[in-house]
Amino acid sequence: MTKPSPQELLSRKKVIDVEDLVTHYGERMILKGISMDVREGEIMVIMGGSGSGKSTLLRHLMSLETATSGKMSLLGRDITELTLKETYSLRKKIGVAFQGGALFSSMTVGENIKLPLREHTDLDEFTMDIMARMKLEVVDLAGFEDLTPSELSGGMLKRAAVARAIVMDPKLLFFDEPSAGLDPVVAAQLDELILRLRDAMGMSIVVVTHELDSAFRIADRITMLDRGKILMVGTPEEMKASDNSRIQNLLNRRIEEEDLDPDAYLRRLTGEDQSNERA
C-alpha cells in the first residue's frame, strides 16, 4: 500500500485531536500550547531533540498524564469527560510498545501477550494460546512464547512488546523510540513491521523517535517539536523543503548556533527565565 496523499489524509476522521495542550512538570512548563491531530490509518511521527517534550506529549496522548489546560480527544472521546470505567474501556482500544518493551519479567513472553486477553475477555486458555501465537507470527517471533523476556535480544524484546500491544486488535498504536538501541538492520525490520501493521490491520500509529532515517521511512506526517512547542506539522517532503532554520538544523544534525544575547544569558543564570515560564 502506498502512502496516502496529504489531501486524502486530511479528509479522514481524527483519531487523536489535541487543542492547546499545556502541561507542567512540578512548576516547570513542559508543553506550551500543543495543537495537533492524528488521522485514521495514518503514521504520525513525533520528532524533536532531547528535552523538546516529545515523551511528555506521548504520555498525554496515551492518557497517562493530566494536562494543566487544553483539550484532548482520543478515538472521538474527550478524555477529560470520561469516567474511570470509560477510561479503562477506552484504553483497551489502544496499544503501546514502550521503549524498553516493558514486558513483565516474571511472566513468559506468551503469558505477557495473553495478559490483556486474560484480563479483558472470557476466552478459554486454548483460544488465548492461539491468539498469542498468531500475534507472535505477525512480529516474526513464532515459537518464542515459552521464553522469558530476559532471554530475548533487544530487537526481539521490542517485537514481543508489539505483539502484546496488538493482541486486542487496537485501533490506535503508540511506539516510544522503537529504533533506540537497535542496530540499523534490526531498526529497519521494526520500521517494516510498523508499516505492515498500518497496511494490513489499518491501525493509526503514533511513533515518537529521534531517528531521522526511521522517521522519513515510515511517516505519513511528522510533528516537529522544539522546546515544548510545535515547530511544524507536515509530510516528510514538506519537512525537508522547509526553510525554517531550526528544522533544517535538526534534520541536518547541526548544532544550534544561538546569537549571544547578554540579557537572556543573565536571565538564565539568575533563574528569571524559569520563573517566567512557571507563570
Partner 1 sequence: MSEQEAQQGPIARRIEQVGRTTMVGVGVIGYCATLIWESLYWAVMGKAMGQPVRLNAIVDQMMEIGIRAIPIVSLLALAVGMMLAIQGIYTLSIFGAESQVTYGIAFSVVREFSPLITGILVAGRSGSALAARIGIMTINQEIDALSVMGINPVRFLVAPAMFAMLIMMPCLTFLSDVIGLLGGGLYVALDLKISLSAYWSDIIKIISNGDLTHGLMKSILFGVLIVIIGVANGAGVQGGAEGVGKVTTRAVVQSISAIVITDMFFAFMVTR
* Residues near partner 1, by CB under 8 A: 59, 62-64, 84-85, 88-92, 94-96, 98-100, 102-105, 115-116, 119-120, 174
* Alpha-carbon distances of 87 from 73, 79, 201, 252, rounded to whole Å: 12, 7, 24, 41
Closest by CA position to 241, among listed 6, 79, 29: 6
**DSSP codes of every residue in 72-121:** EEETTEEGGG--HHHHHHHHTTEEEEBTTB---TTS-HHHHHHHHHHHH-
Closest CB 176 distance from partner 1, rounded Å: 8
Give the nearer residue to partner 1 in terms of CB position, either 62 or 141: 62
- Nearest distance, CB of residue 247 and partner 1, angstroms: 30
Question: Nearest approach, Cβ of 16 to partner 1 (angstroms)?
Answer: 14
Least CB distance to partner 1 at residue 256 (A): 29
234 burial (CB, 10 Å; 0-12 / 13-18 / 19+) is: middle
Task: Give the Cα separation of 10 and 36 in Å (integer).
Answer: 12
Q: Which is nearer to partner 1, 53 or 116 (CB)?
A: 116
Give the CA radius of gyration of the chain.
20
Q: Which is nearer to partner 1, 32 or 59 (CB)?
A: 59
Q: Which lies closer to partner 1 via its Cβ, residue 152 or residue 247?
A: 152
CB of 147 to partner 1, least distance (A): 17
Q: Which is nearer to partner 1, 115 or 212 (CB)?
A: 115
Question: How far is it between the farthest Cα atoms of the chain?
Answer: 69
User: Which parts of the chain are beta strand (E)?
Assistant: 14-25, 28-39, 43-48, 69-74, 77-78, 94-97, 172-176, 204-208, 221-226, 229-234
Q: How far is the CB of 254 from partner 1 (least distance, A)?
A: 32
Q: Coil, helix or strand for 200? A: helix
On whether the CB atoms of residues 221 and 42 are closer than 8 A, the answer is: yes
The nearest distance, CB 26 to partner 1, in angstroms, is: 12
Nearer to partner 1 (CB atom), residue 170 or residue 236: 170
Query: Whose Cβ is closer to partner 1: residue 70's or residue 100's?
Result: 100
